[in-house]
Structure 1
Amino acid sequence: MSAPAGGGRPRRVAMVTVHTSPLDQPGTGDAGGMNVYVLETARQLARQGTAVDLFTRTTSAAQPDLVEVEPGVVVRHVAAGPYEGLSKEDLPGQLCAFAAGMMRVAAHAPPGYYDLVHSHYWLSGQVGWLAADRWSVPLVHTMHTMARVKNLHLADGDRPEPLGREIGEAQVVEAADRLVANTGREAGELVDLYGADPARVAVVEPGVDLAVFAPGSQAEARARVGLPADAVLLLFVGRIQPLKGPDVLVRAAAELVRRRPDLRERAVVAVLGGASGTGVTTPMGLDALADRLGIGDLLRVVPPVDRPTLADWYRAADVVAVPSHSESFGLVAVEALACGTPVVAANVGGLPTAVGDGGLLVDGHDTSAWASALGRVVLDPGRRAGLSRRAVEHAQGFGWARTAGRLLEVYTEALARPKELSIHDAERLTGIPPAVIP
């Protein structure tokens, strides 16, 4: 299959997201910021003239083969292994079946149907590598998270990522025509930890839906989510797993209440999300932790909610905590800022870029340091008001249309100047010595 005649923008992109569907509710299972990223960029690409087919694994017999999200965006469910009961760790064994499903779709399409493959996460990169090679089109890959980065910043009790993932990621880095990094820091990690060619790494910052996540009345938002008007709300949003550090907020909140007993009557510590990753096999026990620390009566664990309700939670909060141990970007931070809520975040990964001057960064995860940072926001109305104004201003630079426009530039560049695979690159990718490579 050939690329668009004379290069230019792709007419249709095959996006691959094997392990989690863009239609899944963020905050449940493995669904999170990547799901939002994939769906929102697909929508914006279609609105800018490039159609997108999203390939994801079938996880229920009730799922149709094809779902049209909007004109130009379809989700294609591919059967690969049992529909239910497979964890993300089980999926490497199903990549061949998934790739075969993609090939069957393309076999029924006209020649040259897909101009480019964009894979998300390393599992998808393995499939995207094969599809791009079979269709003779460029491969663009976005890591979202990287094993070598995560293993450098493990939370206590968390499992390191396996060597097989590291090897798989390194292969995709070698194979991709272009690598998309969320921030300059992530671009540096691709180069330093994976040996990526800097000329093939492009920085494309994620976005936020500024129509949904926007400032509003805190009092009205609190009424809608069932909180008292005078509450002091410390909020965590995200998957409940050690990597994301919700326990850091619980410990810091307990320390803040110990320092300021007058907060006890009004403080609410809300954790909004579902168990994920090692948090499923080994529950974090946030309720028991809060009880041991004497704030069991202040903790509320809330299951994932739809986006309008999530925006209300952000508006209702006095501060949003993002205490991740590793974070490629941090969409939660930008969503909160867009609603005018200051963020206190760990100084890791892409969070400095996401937070900007709309919040505070904390080095490390020391309870005392986090309690002090949260206190500086919620106990100083003047500081909080200033952060809130700057938060909204900062978030305005992160619209999804801007992200999609930058992706189109990367696609166009990949189509015009695809990566040339040398015989030595081929040896590293396949393990076959140059003498026997035709």
Structure 2
Amino acid sequence: MTTDEPRIRRRVAMVSVHTSPLAQPGTGDAGGMNVYVIETAKRLARRGIGVDIFTRQTTASDAAVVEVEPGVKVRHVAAGPYEGLNKEDLPGQLCAFAAGMMRVAAHAPEGHYDLVHSHYWLSGQVGWLAADRWDVPLVHTMHTMARVKNLHRAEGDAEEPRGREIGEAQVVEAADRLVANTRDEGRELVDLYGADPDRVDVVPPGVDLDVFHPGNRSEARRSVDVPDDAVLLLFVGRIQPLKAPDLLIRAAAMLTRRDPTLRRRLVVGILGGPSGGAVRTPMALDRLALDEGVADLVRFVAPTDRDGLATWMRAADVVTVPSHNESFGLVAVEAQACGAVVVATDVGGLPTAVGDAGLLVDGHDLHAWVDAIESVIDNPERQADLSARAAERARGFAWEVTAERLASVYEAALATPRRASINESDTLAGIPTAVIP
């Protein structure tokens, strides 16, 4: 027990089965969700809500419990072999994971956890069981949804399995409250999964403004070895078809064809590692760069820590977010907080994240993307205006605000009678078409 323990007035069991909040974002299954889980947990603890984060142990060296800061503990649960399991293999380990959670709770006083907050559908299945066992509310955040991903699937990307769709529908029915990143995501929960609109709360994610903030561009460029007069275009994220990093390489090639003099100054940074199916079937971006004649302009950079990421973003002229779908687009907000101009796909949560402080492109037409990028790099006044607006907009997305709203969701869940047992025939029936107000 820490010296700060008496200030904890509530305790939440947060569940993140398939990816640890301690993992480096940008590769494997680690991404924006990891950042969301750890950042909200820290801010909740500072508000007097203790958080135990349950995640799967993936190496023998993982400590059973890691105290991140007073009030926040990461608990590693043994469920299947440490290595060699893909996310698609994890449904078979949910029973083992749930049993591990139950063992932890068995050593705590009765009523130790006031609430369960699960992240992603795999965690929702475990959270459903834990909430029923402990007779506490279940709050669930989807982060991504199979039916949405299948509607916006990238060419060549595998369709999300039917089993995931069913599992998500069950979690939607079981949860006492559903947290959506944006109003559009809330509508998708209602329209595609039949969620009760009265149980859907919109809570936008945040950004760490102590890390991601404007700074001296020249200093940032010296730190990442980019010439001061360069035009730096950046992609940040996991390397997978859904994120479409290949579009930036193709765009760079078209930019140099339109303006051959740009080749002397253009630098393209691809920050991230392979994820999902791209681990087994790599996207071969290096080969694409070679084929497009821009291999000498492209730098592939391994995932970096948050301070290093912020430095790259401060150095950039444009940060591209060409995803086929994003529930929010945390990278876009982090980039804007650094004063970078964001060019993003007009899809999912990206319009909410970017707003009018960046440029939104409809679809993935290469000419449209190159036009948007050119309109920034060829117009210093416009770039400066968008940069200032981006930093100002990002200040409205602080993690402290996210945590405050989550705390209100928790209180609403605790104040409402728990939902009755799930009727499976209702869960898997036709999907209603109500619209969230």
TM-score when normalising by structure 1: 0.95
Query: 2:403 matched to which residue of 1?
Result: 404
Poorly superposed stretches of 4+, deviation over 3 Å? 424-431
Query: 1:425 matched to which residue of 2?
Result: 423
> How far apart, CA to CA, are the structure 2 residues paired with 1:301 and 1:150?
27
Tell me which amino acid in the other structure corresponds to 2:23: D
> How far apart, CA to CA, are the structure 2 residues paired with 1:177 and 1:427?
19
Alignment of 1:140-155 (within 5 A): 140-155=139-154
Question: What is the DSSP-based 3-state SS (H/G/I as helix, E as strand, rest coil) of the residue aligned with 1:68?
Answer: strand
TM-superposed deviation, 1:419 = 4.1
Query: 1:225 matched to which residue of 2?
Result: 224
TM-superposed deviation, 1:425 = 3.4
Query: 1:369 matched to which residue of 2?
Result: 368
Query: 2:303 matched to which residue of 1?
Result: 304
User: Contact 2:136–2:418 (CA<8 Å) still a contact in 1?
Assistant: no
Query: 1:285 matched to which residue of 2?
Result: 284
TM-superposed deviation, 1:426 = 5.8
User: Contact 2:207–2:333 (CA<8 Å) still a contact in 1?
Assistant: yes
Tell me which amino acid in the other structure corresponds to 1:425: N
Structure 1 residues 10 and 183 mapped into 2: Cα distance closer, same or farther (>3 Å)?
Answer: farther
Structure 2 residue 350 is the aligned partner of structure 1 residue 351: yes
What are the superposed Cα offsets for residues 29-71 of structure 1, whole Å, 9 maximum, x if unpaired? 1000000000000000000010000000000000110000000
Alignment of 1:30-429 (within 5 A): 30-421=29-420, 425=423, 428=426
User: Contact 1:267–1:298 (CA<8 Å) still a contact in 2?
Assistant: yes
> How far apart, CA to CA, are the structure 2 residues paired with 1:165 and 1:377?
41
TM-superposed deviation, 1:123 = 0.1
> How far apart, CA to CA, are the structure 2 residues paired with 1:136 and 1:348?
38
TM-superposed deviation, 1:418 = 3.4
What are the superposed Cα offsets for residues 128-172 of structure 1, whole Å, 9 maximum, x if unpaired? 000000000000000000000000011111001000000000000
User: Contact 1:175–1:429 (CA<8 Å) still a contact in 2?
Assistant: no
Question: What is the DSSP-based 3-state SS (H/G/I as helix, E as strand, rest coil) of the residue aligned with 2:195?
Answer: coil
Question: What is the DSSP-based 3-state SS (H/G/I as helix, E as strand, rest coil) of the residue aligned with 1:101?
Answer: helix
> How far apart, CA to CA, are the structure 1 residues paired with 2:234 and 2:428?
47
Aligned pairs, number: 422
Identity of aligned residues (%): 72
Question: What is the DSSP-based 3-state SS (H/G/I as helix, E as strand, rest coil) of the residue aligned with 2:264?
Answer: coil
Tell me which amino acid in the other structure corresponds to 1:154: R
TM-superposed deviation, 1:10 = 6.4
Question: What is the DSSP-based 3-state SS (H/G/I as helix, E as strand, rest coil) of the residue aligned with 1:349?
Answer: coil
User: Where does the alignment leave 5 or more consecutive residues of structure 1 unmatched?
Assistant: 1-8, 432-438
TM-superposed deviation, 1:250 = 0.9
> How far apart, CA to CA, are the structure 2 residues paired with 1:274 and 1:141?
28
What are the superposed Cα offsets for residues 252-274 of structure 1, whole Å, 9 maximum, x if unpaired? 11111111111100001110000
What are the superposed Cα offsets for residues 155-195 of structure 1, whole Å, 9 maximum, x if unpaired? 11100100000000000000000000000000000000001
TM-superposed deviation, 1:428 = 3.5
> How far apart, CA to CA, are the structure 2 residues paired with 1:35 and 1:393?
25
> How far apart, CA to CA, are the structure 2 residues paired with 1:426 and 1:267?
56
Query: 1:3 matched to which residue of 2?
Result: none
> How far apart, CA to CA, are the structure 2 residues paired with 1:249 and 1:303?
17
> How far apart, CA to CA, are the structure 2 residues paired with 1:418 and 1:333?
38
Structure 1 residues 154 and 430 mapped into 2: Cα distance closer, same or farther (>3 Å)?
Answer: closer
> How far apart, CA to CA, are the structure 2 residues paired with 1:354 and 1:146?
18
Query: 1:5 matched to which residue of 2?
Result: none
User: Contact 1:176–1:419 (CA<8 Å) still a contact in 2?
Assistant: no
> How far apart, CA to CA, are the structure 2 residues paired with 1:427 and 1:282?
38
Query: 1:4 matched to which residue of 2?
Result: none
